[in-house]
Amino acid sequence: KQEVTQIPAALSVPEGENLVLNCSFTDSAIYNLQWFRQDPGKGLTSLLLIQSSQREQTSGRLNASLDKSSGRSTLYIAASQPGDSATYLCAVRPRGTGNQFYFGTGTSLTVIP
Amino acid sequence: GAVVSQHPSWVICKSGTSVKIECRSLDFQATTMFWYRQFPKQSLMLMATSNEGSKATYEQGVEKDKFLINHASLTLSTLTVTSAHPEDSSFYICSVSPPGQGLSGQPQHFGDGTRLSIL
């Protein structure tokens, strides 16, 4: 069964810093990987989707990379802002097991003004 | 705008009550919808896959008689928590994937979730 792990579990940085969130998964046979943001008590907002054939995706200050063979993805946030404070989740869609996603444990980010 | 609408957003009820949560796909027809559960400070765990016109597929450890799923149309799936108890208190979220893009290109769109509190 696919297992998804995120490191660190929590991160606190001063405003303006660039930061990297890590996601690792045990089975490299995936269709895609998606990064989400979740604010406290809220649902999920999709940030970036990387297909299995892609190496990275960019949206504004966010850049996500995928190294499928090593089972890793990173989310890079440039020039962090207090509004970026949230929990960031990565999820993978495995091949051959249906359409569901398996979620990581999440990284709780706090950006200090 | 929102792709998925989930209702209600918050429910507080007494133990033993049955609670129904609705998930609507607003932008496209969805033959498959997914129900997740999230306990405090934990990640999302898939509960079941809702299939239009057929029985839902439940993940291991999820009681199908307790969590009734009905996917009666291509835009609506419902999750009913029957005879809810305090340990069922959780955050329930549904998701859908748009069709026609191939599995590699299919993102998942999530509802805003339902916070269920059983007293």
Query: pLDDT, tens digit, for every residue of A75-96?
Result: 999 999 999 999 999 999 888 7
Strand order in the sheet with A56-59: A4-7, A19-25, A72-77, A62-67, A56-59
- Tokens matching residue B106: 């299919």
CB-nearest to A34 from B6, B32, B107 is B107
- Judge whether residue B103 has pLDDT over 80: no
Q: Please enumerate in sequence order all residues whose Cβ is within 8 A of that of B119, keeping only pairs 6 or more positions apart, or say none.
A: B12, B13, B14, B15, B86
Distance (Å) from the alpha carbon of A87 to chain B's nearest alpha carbon: 10
Amino acid at B69: I
Which of the residue ranges B66-70, B83-87, B96-100, B111-115 would you say has the lowest mean pLDDT? B96-100
> What pLDDT shows up at residue B118?
95
CB-nearest to A93 from B6, B57, B103 is B103
